[in-house]
Amino acid sequence: MKRILKLVAVVAVAGLVAAACGGGNKSTNTGSPSASTGALQSGGVLKLAIEADVDHAFDPAKEYSTLSFEPFRCCLLRTLVSTNGQDASHDGDILQPDLAALPQISADGLTYTFTIQSGIHYAPPFDNVEVTAGDFARAIARESDSQASANGYSFYYSPSGGTGGGIVGFDEAKGTVPSGVKVVDDHTLAITLTAPLGDFPWRMSMAAMAPIPPVGNSVLGWATGHTKDYGRYLVGTGPYMFKGTDALDPSGPPSQAAISGYVPGRSWTLVRNPSWDASTDPNRPAYVDEIDVAIGGTAQVLANEVDNGTIDMEFGGVPPAQQLAAYQADPTKATQVHATPSDGVRYLAMNIALPPFDDIHVRKAMNYVIDKDALRRTRGGPLFGDIAGHFIVNSLTGDINANYDPYASPNGQGDVTKAKAEMALSKYDTNGDGICDAPECNGVLTITDSADPYPAQNAILVASAKKIGISLDVRAGDRYTFMYDKCLDPTSHAAFCPSVGWFKDYPDALTFGPPTLGSAAIGPGGCCNYSLVGASNDLLKADGYTTTDVASLDAVFNKCTVMPIGQERLQCWADADKAIMEQAVPVIPWLFDKDVDLTGSRILNYTYDQSAGMMSLDHVALVGGGA
Amino acid sequence: MGRYLIRRTLFMVLVLFIVSLFTFIIFMKLPAGDPARRLAGSRATTPQELQAIRHSIGLDEPLLVQYGRFAKGLIPWPGFFLNKQVYFSWANNVPVSEEIYSRLPYTITLSLGAAAVFLVVGIPIGIISAIKRRSFVDRAGMVFALIGVSAPVFWLAYLMLYFFWFKLGWLPGIGVPAGEPILKSIALGRFILPWFALAFTFAAFYTRMIRGNLIETMSEDYIRTARAKGLSERRVIFKHGLRAALTPVVTMFGLDLATLLGGAVITETVFNIPGIGQYTLQAIFGGNFPGVMGVTVLAAFFIVIANLVVDVLYAFLDPRVRYT
């Protein structure tokens, strides 16, 4: 979810962009660089720039942002299982073997056994050390240390993390190997869970689970003494490593000089890892020899640098609207603009425990009446996303619901007739004219972000809701100290939270439904069930609500959570999506976000990494091999 | 003199203590919401995780203990000063001392360069304006001063970037690339635009101040006496007039330089110079309290030191001032 930060940062992109894009998950450039069919040449230095650094200096147990996910996946850290680094239309959302084969699952769904490849070695200075099962156990042990994983995502491994279950003994391990993790032999790792979790292999694909080299008999091996700064001493097995990794001294103290190729806040320099063997890694073509990333500068400055060839791309940013318009208008450059569904949804959250949204007909009427197209224009138009007709993004349900939109309206501009018909069924429309006439519809407390483009969006929402007699009392403030505080706190009685969105962590709908609409995600300690779906009677009473019974989706989610990865699981989540939209109706999804990248003229084979949600650095090649 | 210095040093410690205390209170207590929640951002976090975040940065300690840990890190003694146990960035897990030490050379380069520019530009214009009062040169100097004090640095910086980098391509404007030695950056002219953008406002202030001081000084009795003794006008101005007129400049210059050393936030941000000012902004927006505390106290330190130096120097320049 932290990835929303990236999107929040780009919202100011104004609507100069007009190229319409189709649905599905394909990148929507029109050809050449990314569609290059000639043989791609290896070599060269890929020059990128980013506006700000990663959050936690590349510590895999702490980093929880898209900006770090891609360099981890593509380049620095191989994990037991992974993806091919491509978009959903090229199976980028399908789990692939990596350091291990896909796991064997016990009949009860509780034990996952991974068989690890032989002959994989770490980057220097651990190039003589072969990756073994114990190295993964070490990573799990580190993840169980709340200090090492603070700010990270240990909840995916903790039985008490609110994600349906976790590794046996994880909560008690506190920096040691949990009892549920068994090193059967050097190449076999068995992990036992407290409850069946169909998506568990995905959880093992995350960077925090990358192997940690052993050092002596210490439990945490090479990570010992680096609770806060392991990222600056990172040694992995990917095709690249930070420049200067080989200068680390395995027998030296934790206070030794950090890797020179990563200067926090200034630069990343990734060079080839001499230990990496392409024949063991079909997921990563790794064309370029070096990846240089400069940190700093505004979007406009970086856009100029792309234009004049100083850099090849702003990585993870959004090109300025003027630059996008100029490239799209130029047939020779239009192919350098790429837009790909990023597996994120923007939605409006209604508090189903508060009038007038405690009436499902009002919620359905709101779904009909909102002008989603106008909202989308505030974000840059169709290039930046498709109008959403349902909640869970299509790639996470295998496109089963791609054409599903129970509240469709012409061009997504709202259907007042249907909205009024729905409102007429509500108890808040006493005369049945489709206009809410109850006092509960006046001054509906709306908590929103004050930054652009939300003021423009608020105006659209106020105008849309007014058509069915709902007047919004809009209170805007800082996103983190006001908006989230109020929307996450049930006692604040916020009725409408329209500035929210959600992005997957990995390609499974478990990272979409339960965190946003599960009962465990209610309240400041939970995050981010703003709608109070599934709130208990006790919670509602304690927080001052008169409503005592609200819809719950927990049973629907629980059913899907335990299913193993496969078509049945996809269908289950697709059905859950329908339950969200028709039975509970706590949200008004309005945009399936797209990532928009603009690449320089040297870049060939642009590929979008669906799992990480960014351009795939290992699939990019340079014209003439960068010569 | 010795007692004076001791007293001023103790006063300096008191000022730094007050600055650190207020910084702590402002950052930790005034903003709405839980700092741990702010650090966790918008992602899903359980109460246990929030507790882990609090514990990892010491927020689960009593407030006084929290402050004590930070205050201890301000004691200028090895092992204490900006120690990594406490002064470890909440935003990117990098020691604050490392950030400050690596960024300080850029800020010093920017500050000294800008100071040289505003002195070299501001003082002569101020002198000429005063000497040629009500002439065209004086009017031009005052127009320069008016524009200088009116133009916001960020506007001027973008204007200079637009013309000299983007349109004309005469000067570099994309900041200092990572890994480039600072002397090379200077040689390549990467600091020229930032120096001038930063110096412009200061130069205007100095012009106005020197002009005013010099005009006032030149009407003093002792100047009339000097002229009556038959000294040349040049000698009257430069030996008798300027000495008195420039004395307040020392005070102002000391404090201005100290302020710049504390970080030219806007200039460093616009020109992408990885100095203290840029770090300050990143620390504030990143919710990185150790970073904020480090740079705030550093800036306060520069100012109190500059104050002390200026006061000592003042007594040398003006015999009427005594250490008491």
Task: Tell me the mean pLDDT in the region A197-219.
Answer: 96
Angstrom distances, CA of residue B134 to CA of A271, B137, B141:
65, 8, 10
Q: What would you report as the CA-atom Rg of chain B, rounded to the nearest whole angstrom?
A: 24
From A186, A157, A192, A199, select the one nearest A174 (Cα to Cα).
A157
- Torsions phi, psi of A263, nearest 5? -110, 105
Contact A80, A113 (CB under 8 A): no
The residue in chain A having the minimum alpha-carbon distance to the alpha carbon of residue B93 is: A56
Neighbours of A147 (CB within 10 A): 17
pLDDT of residue A438: 96
Rounded Cα–Cα distance for residues A179 and A408 (Å): 51
Mean pLDDT, rounded, for B269-289: 87
> What does the pLDDT read at residue A33?
42
Confidence of residue A67 (pLDDT cuts 50, 70, 90): very high
pLDDT range class, residue B34, cuts 50, 70, 90 = low
Nearest Cβ partner of B44 from A1, A158, A263? A1
Residue keyed to tokens 């034990």: A111
Cα separation, A559 vs B162, in Å, equals 59
CA A392 – CA A29 distance, rounded (Å): 25
pLDDT score for B38: 66
| Residue contact B178–A526, C-beta within 8 A | no
- Asked if A131 and A211 touch (Cβ cutoff 8 Å), the reply is yes
**What is the per-residue pLDDT for A45?**
97
Chain A residue numbers with beta carbons less than 8 Å from the beta carbon of B57 are 150
User: What does each C-alpha distance from B159 to B151, B152, B271 come to in angstroms?
Assistant: 11, 11, 12
Q: Which of A593, A599, A525 is nearest to B43 (CA)?
A: A525
Residue A324 to residue A384: CA distance in whole angstroms: 11
| Cα A330 from chain centre | 32
User: How much is the pLDDT for A180?
Assistant: 97
- Parallel, antiparallel, or unpaired for β A96-97 and A81-82? antiparallel
Here the tokens at position A478 are 């800082």
| A350-399 residue pLDDT tens | 999 999 999 999 999 999 999 999 999 999 999 999 999 999 999 999 99
Q: How confident is the model at residue A12 (pLDDT cuts 50, 70, 90)?
A: very low
Q: Which residues pair with A596 in a beta bridge?
A: A339
What local confidence, expressed as pLDDT, does residue B46 receive? Answer: 63
pLDDT band at B219 (very low <50, low <70, confident <90, very high): confident
Per-residue pLDDT tens digits for B128-184: 999 888 889 889 988 888 888 888 888 999 999 889 988 888 998 878 877 788 999
Q: Indicate which of B94, B167, B271, B281 best probes the interface with A, i.e. most A CBs within 10 Å of its own CB.
A: B94
Average pLDDT, chain B: 85
Single-letter residue type at A41? Q
- H/E stretch holding A133: helix A133-143
Integer Cα distance of A21 and A386 in angstroms: 8
Strands A188-192, A262-263: parallel, antiparallel or unpaired by DSSP? unpaired
Cross-chain CB nearest to B42 (options A146, A296, A484): A484
Structure tokens at A391: 């909640």
CB contact A150 to B (< 8 Å): yes
Which residues touch A541 (CB under 8 Å, ≥6 apart)? A548
Interface touch B43/A1, C-beta < 8 Å: yes
- What per-residue confidence (pLDDT) applies to B27? 81
* Cα–Cα distance measured from residue A55 to residue A62, given in angstroms and rounded to the nearest whole number: 8
Which tens digit of pLDDT belongs to each residue from A276-315? 999 999 999 999 999 999 988 888 889 988 999 999 999 9
pLDDT at A11: 34
Q: Are A604 and A40 in contact (CB under 8 A)?
A: yes
B120's tokens: 């070299």
Asked if A1 lies within 8 A of B178 by C-beta distance, the reply is no
Task: Say how far apart CA A183 and CA A168 lie, in whole Å.
Answer: 14
Residue holding tokens 């200028």? B76
Partner-chain contact A480 B33, CB within 8 Å: yes
CB B206 within 8 A of CB B276: no
Average the pLDDT over A535-555 and give the result. 94
User: What ipTM is given for this predicted complex?
Assistant: 0.71
- A481 — contact with chain B (CB < 8 Å)? yes
> How many CB atoms are located within 10 Å of the residue A8 CB?
17
| CA angle (A332, A334, A335) in 5-degree steps | 90
Chain B CB contacts of A489 under 8 Å are: none
Structure tokens at A373: 């197209």
What pLDDT score was predicted for residue B2?
77
Average pLDDT over all residues of chain A: 91
Chain A residues with beta carbon closer than 8 angstroms to that of B94: 57, 229, 232, 264-265
Provide CB contacts within 8 A for A85, sequence distance 6+. Answer: A73, A74, A92, A283, A284, A607, A609, A611, A612, A616, A618, A619
Q: What are A100-129's pLDDT values in tens digits?
A: 999 999 999 999 999 999 999 999 999 999
Half-sphere exposure of A304 (CA within 13 A, CB side): 13
pLDDT band of A578, cuts 50, 70, 90: very high
Interchain contact B97–A (C-beta under 8 A): no
> Is-contact A87 A615, C-beta < 8 A?
no
Q: Do B177 and A294 touch (CB under 8 A)?
A: yes
Look at strands A262-263 and A267-272 and give their pairing. Answer: antiparallel
Q: Can you say whether the dihedral through the CA atoms of A526, A528, A530, A534 is positive or negative? A: negative
Largest CA distance in chain B: 86
Q: What is the DSSP string of B285-314?
A: HTT-HHHHHHHHHHHHHHHHHHHHHHHHHH
Average pLDDT for residues A452-464, to the nearest whole number?
95
Q: CA B256: distance to chain centroid? A: 6
Classify residue A211 as exposed, middle or buried by CB count within 10 Å of its CB (0-12, 13-18, 19+).
buried
Report phi then psi at B98, rounded to 5.
-65, -40
- How distant is the Cα of B175 from the closest Cα of chain A, in angstroms? 8
Q: How far is CA A614 from the centre of its chain?
A: 10
* Residue among A307, A297, A290 at smallest CA distance from A601: A307
Give B-chain residues touching A296 at CB under 8 angstroms. 175, 272, 274, 278
DSSP codes, A311-377: SSEETTS---HHHHHHHHHSTTTGGGEEEEEEEEEEEEEE-TTSTTTTSHHHHHHHHHH--HHHHHH
If you ran DSSP here, which 8-state letter would residue A129 be given?
A: P
pLDDT of residue B81: 84
Nearest CA to A390 among A93, A135, A141, A590?
A590
Q: Averaged over A231-243, what is the pLDDT? A: 97
Q: Minimal Cα–Cα distance from A409 to chain B, Å? A: 31
From chain B, the residues in CB contact with A64 under 8 A are 43
Q: How far apart are CA A262 and CA A244, in angstroms?
A: 9
**Strands, sheet with A111-115, edge to edge from the N-terminal-most edge strand:** A104-105, A111-115, A188-192, A181-185
Quick one: tokens of A545? 């609500």
pLDDT of A47: 96
| DSSP result, A81-94 | EE--SS-GGGTTTS
Measuring CA to CA, which residue among B284, B276, B252, B285 is closest to residue B115? B252
B49 vs A contacts (CB less than 8 Å): 146, 150, 154-155
Q: In whole angstroms, give the CA distance from residue A184 to residue A497.
A: 49
pLDDT tier for residue A83 given thresholds of 50, 70 and 90: very high
Work out the pLDDT band at B324, boundaries 50, 70, 90: low
Single-letter residue type at A359: D
Cβ-Cβ contacts under 8 Å, B279 against chain A: 265
Whose tokens are 């949200």? That residue is: A587
Comparing CB atoms, the residue among A147, A154, A231 nearest residue B56 is A147
How far are the Cα atoms of A348, A394, B10 from residue A553, in angstroms, in the given order? 18, 19, 64
Pick A151's closest partner by Cβ from B39, B88, B174.
Answer: B39
Taking a C-beta distance cutoff of 8 angstroms, is the pair A283, A117 a contact? no
Q: Is B42 on the interface with A (CB under 8 A)?
A: yes
Tokens of B262: 């504390």
What digits encode the pLDDT tens for the residues B153-166? 889 999 998 899 88
Q: How confident is the model at residue A477 (pLDDT cuts 50, 70, 90)?
A: very high
Hey, are the CB atoms on B44 and A59 less than 8 Å from each other?
Answer: no
The beta strands (E) that lie in A147-283 are given as 181-185, 188-192, 240-242, 262-263, 267-272
Token readout for B245 is 């007129």
Cα A323 to chain centroid, rounded: 26
C-alpha B280 chain-centroid distance: 12
Question: Which A-chain residues 527-586 have CB contacts (< 8 A) with chain B?
Answer: 527-528
pLDDT of the residue at B90: 81
- C-alpha to C-alpha distance for B200 and A392, rounded to whole angstroms: 55
pLDDT tens track for A581-610: 999 999 999 999 999 999 999 999 999 999
pLDDT band at B92 (very low <50, low <70, confident <90, very high): confident
